[in-house]
Structure 1
Amino acid sequence: MKGLIQRVSHACVKVDGEVTGAIDGGILLLLGVEQGDSQATADKLLQKVLNYRIFPDADGRMNLSLSDTAGGLLVVSQFTLVADTRKGLRPGFSRGAAPDEGERLYDLFVHRARETHGAVETGRFGADMKVELLNDGPVTFLLEVPPVD
């Protein structure tokens, strides 16, 4: 499972011109689900997202996490994040989870995030989405969690 996190001043996602999720300061998470991912993989990535220290402390050092700052979390499904780009000029998507399994794990991730963090907004799985954001820093990290049994 992969998560591209961006520290944002604000972000929103729209489907057919309608805002489905919006946050002020916090993290925009683009979430990619791969074959072999499980509930345990999702839980491990969620803990990493919530506790990864990318927010500045009083001295301006990245020492605070989303849990520390109580910022918003905007979760957007992004199957292209798991594409194989090692060869050629066209991405391969054989690593991605099947759509129904990807949606199940995405929904589980969001459910657990809401239980743990509360301030969670989302896009719509499988939809054509428009994402707007103001990256703060810019600060962007790719978090990867291998499948966990």
Structure 2
Amino acid sequence: MRALIQRVTEASVTVDNEVCGEIGPGLLVLVCAMHGDDEAAAEQLAAKIAKLRIFKDEAGRMNRSVLDTGGSVLVVSQFTLAADTRSGNRPGFSQAAPPVEGQRLYLHFAEAVRQQGLTVATGRFGADMKVALVNDGPVTIWLDTAQR
């Protein structure tokens, strides 16, 4: 699975002019299931994100996790993280998991983050979403379970 993680002071996702998920301080996680991903990949990614030390400690160093800070996580599906731009000018998305599988793994991932002890809000899989955020830092990190 692929994820783009952004440390935020706040974030929300809106569908059809209705806010369907929002958080205060924490992480916005844009996530994409790839061909061949499974529940174990989703759980591994969730555990890594929950423990990733990218929040400041008392000395101002990035030494605390979202678990340590009591922050929340907004999980938003984003198949465009599978973009292949190696040839031509139009990205290809054939490496993304098929929609039914992608949705299943997206929901499993969100639940796996909850199981880490975090408060989780979500977007709506497959919807045209408007994501608003205030990136804190800015801190933006790319994770891919295939790159172990």
> Scaled by the length of structure 1, what TM-score is found?
0.96
Cα distance change of structure 1 residues 115 and 84 upon mapping to structure 2, 3 Å threshold: same
Greater alpha carbon shift after TM alignment, 114-123 vs 46-55: 114-123
Partners of 2:47 and 2:116 within 8 A in 1: no
Structure 1 stretches of 4+ moved >6 Å: none
Distance in structure 2 (CA, Å) of the matches to 1:46 and 1:111: 9
Q: Is the 8 A contact 1:38 1:147 kept in 2?
A: no
- Using the TM superposition, give the Cα deviation of residue 117 of structure 1 relative to its aligned residue in structure 2, in angstroms: 2.3
Using the TM superposition, name which of 132-141 and 104-113 deviates more: 104-113
RMSD: 1.3
Q: C-alpha separation between the residues in 1 aligned to 2:102 and 2:6?
A: 21
Distance (Å, rounded) in 2 between the aligned partners of 1:147 and 1:54: 20
- Structure 1 unpaired stretches of 5+: none
Contact 1:23 1:74 in 2 (8 A): yes
Q: Could you tell me which residue of structure 1 aligns to residue 61 of structure 2? A: 61
Paired position in structure 1 for 2:108: 108
Give the length in aligned residue pairs: 148
Partner Cα separation in structure 2 for residue 18 and residue 10 of structure 1: 17
Q: Partner residue of 1:73?
A: 73
Where does residue 21 of structure 2 map in the other structure? Answer: 21
What percent identity do the matched residue pairs reach? 55
Equivalence for 2:123: 123
Q: Which residue of 2 aligns with 1:97?
A: 97
**TM-score normalised to structure 2 length:** 0.96
1:59-115: CA deviations, max 9, x gaps?
100000111111010000000011111221110011000000000000111122222
